[in-house]
C-alpha cells in the first residue's frame, strides 16, 4: 500500500513538473533573479529573498496555478509584490488571483486607469473587462519610484508613449539587470499598441533609456523571448531606427502605405525577425500609420 501511494505521489509529482515544465522554462538570470519564459503570455521575472517573492508581470489569467507553482518552485515564500510593466492581458492577467492572496500590485498611473475600465485591443480583437478592485494596482506613480527589496534597489522608470501609455522599465541596480517589458521583443518584430498611447518614437526613446543605464555585462529581460545583452539591445535599437527612418523618408516622398509596403523597408531584418506574431507588412503598417497620425 505504501509503495502504491509512493508510486501515485511520484506519478502525480512528475506529471505536475511536466505540466509546468512543458511550456514554462525557469531560467536563473543572476543572484536571486529568475525569469519564467513561455510561448504563451509574457515573461515573468521573479525576485526571491528574505522579504518575499516579487514578480514583474503575472501572465495570462487562465495560467494562474502554473505561474504560482513555477514561482513557488524557486522559493516557497508568498508572492508579496507585483509590478505590471503595462496593462496588457498577457502581463496583468493574474492580478486578481494574486491580489486575493494579498500581493501588493504596483504600476504606472495609466495602468490602473486602463485596468479599471473596459479596453479593446483591435489588433488582437481582444476585450479586457474592468478588473475587480482586488486586482488593481494599489501603488501607482507618474514618473519613477524605487522599491528597496530583497537586498536590491529596484528603480521603476516610466517610458512615455512607448509600447503603450503606461510602460515601466525596471532596473535592479545591485544585480545589474534590466527588465524592459514589451518595449523589447527578442527574436521578432514588436507589437506597438498605438491605439492605447504607444508610438514608434517613444519606443525608441524608451530603448535609449535602457541603453543609457546598461553596461557591457548588464542582463536584459524582454517582455517576450529569451534574455538579451547590451549588444543585442543596440542591434534592436538599430533595427527600429533604420526601419523608421526608411518609412519616414518614403512618407516625405509622398508614398502611400501600399507603396511603402512594396518598397520592403524591413527587408534586411526579415529573415531574423519576420517569423513572429507581427509580420513585416504589419510592422510597416503600424509605423506608417503612427507616423502619419
Interface residue list for Zn ion (CB under 5 A): 88, 182
Rounded to whole angstroms, the Cα distance separating 291 from 37 reads: 32
Question: What minimum distance in Å lies between the beta carbon of 88 and Zn ion?
Answer: 4
Question: What minimum distance in Å lies between the beta carbon of 85 and Zn ion?
Answer: 8
Question: What minimum distance in Å lies between the beta carbon of 73 and Zn ion?
Answer: 26
Closest to Zn ion by CB, 150 or 164? 164
Residue 60 grid cell: 495570462
**Dihedral angle, C-alpha 206, 211, 213, 219, nearest 10 °:** 110
Question: What minimum distance in Å lies between the beta carbon of 219 and Zn ion?
Answer: 21
- Helices 230-252, 280-291: inter-axial angle, 10-degree rounding: 60
Question: What minimum distance in Å lies between the beta carbon of 220 and Zn ion?
Answer: 17
Closest to Zn ion by CB, 152 or 182? 182
Q: Which residues pair with 28 in a beta bridge?
A: 34
List CB contacts of 47: < 8 A, sequence separation 6 or more.
32, 33, 53, 54, 55, 56, 149, 150, 152, 154, 172
Closest CA to 287 of 161, 209, 169, 199: 199
Closest to Zn ion by CB, 20 or 92? 92
Closest to Zn ion by CB, 58 or 182? 182
Closest to Zn ion by CB, 182 or 248? 182
Residue with cell 496583468: 92
Amino acid at each position: 500500500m505504501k509503495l502504491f501511494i509512493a508510486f501515485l505521489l511520484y506519478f502525480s509529482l512528475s506529471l505536475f513538473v511536466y505540466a509546468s515544465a512543458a511550456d514554462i522554462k525557469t531560467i536563473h538570470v543572476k543572484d536571486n533573479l529568475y525569469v519564467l519564459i513561455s510561448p504563451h503570455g509574457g515573461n515573468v521575472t521573479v525576485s526571491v529573498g528574505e522579504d518575499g517573492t516579487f514578480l514583474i508581470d503575472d501572465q495570462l489569467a487562465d495560467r494562474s496555478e502554473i505561474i504560482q507553482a513555477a514561482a513557488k518552485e524557486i522559493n516557497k515564500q508568498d508572492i508579496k509584490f507585483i509590478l505590471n510593466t503595462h496593462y496588457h492581458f498577457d502581463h496583468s492577467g493574474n492580478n486578481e488571483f494574486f491580489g486575493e492572496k494579498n500581493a501588493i500590485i504596483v504600476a504606472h498611473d495609466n495602468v490602473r486607469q486602463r485596468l479599471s475600465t473596459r479596453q479593446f485591443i483591435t489588433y488582437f480583437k481582444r476585450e479586457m473587462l474592468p478588473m475587480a478592485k482586488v486586482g488593481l494596482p494599489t501603488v501607482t506613480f507618474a514618473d519613477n519610484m524605487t522599491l528597496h527589496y530583497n537586498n536590491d534597489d529596484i528603480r521603476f522608470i516610466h517610458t512615455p508613449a512607448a509600447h503603450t501609455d503606461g510602460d515601466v522599465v525596471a532596473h535592479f541596480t545591485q544585480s545589474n539587470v534590466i527588465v524592459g517589458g514589451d518595449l523589447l521583443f527578442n527574436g521578432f518584430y514588436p507589437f506597438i499598441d498605438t491605439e492605447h498611447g504607444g508610438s514608434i518614437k517613444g519606443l525608441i526613446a524608451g530603448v535609449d533609456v535602457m541603453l543609457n543605464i546598461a553596461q557591457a555585462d548588464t542582463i536584459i529581460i524582454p517582455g517576450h523571448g529569451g534574455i538579451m545583452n547590451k549588444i543585442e539591445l543596440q542591434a534592436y535599437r538599430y533595427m527600429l531606427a533604420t526601419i523608421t527612418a526608411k518609412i519616414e523618408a518614403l512618407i516625405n516622398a509622398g508614398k502611400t502605405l501600399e507603396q511603402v509596403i512594396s518598397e520592403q523597408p524591413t527587408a534586411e531584418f526579415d529573415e531574423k525577425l519576420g517569423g513572429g506574431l507581427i509580420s513585416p507588412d504589419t510592422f510597416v503598417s503600424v509605423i506608417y500609420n503612427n507616423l502619419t497620425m
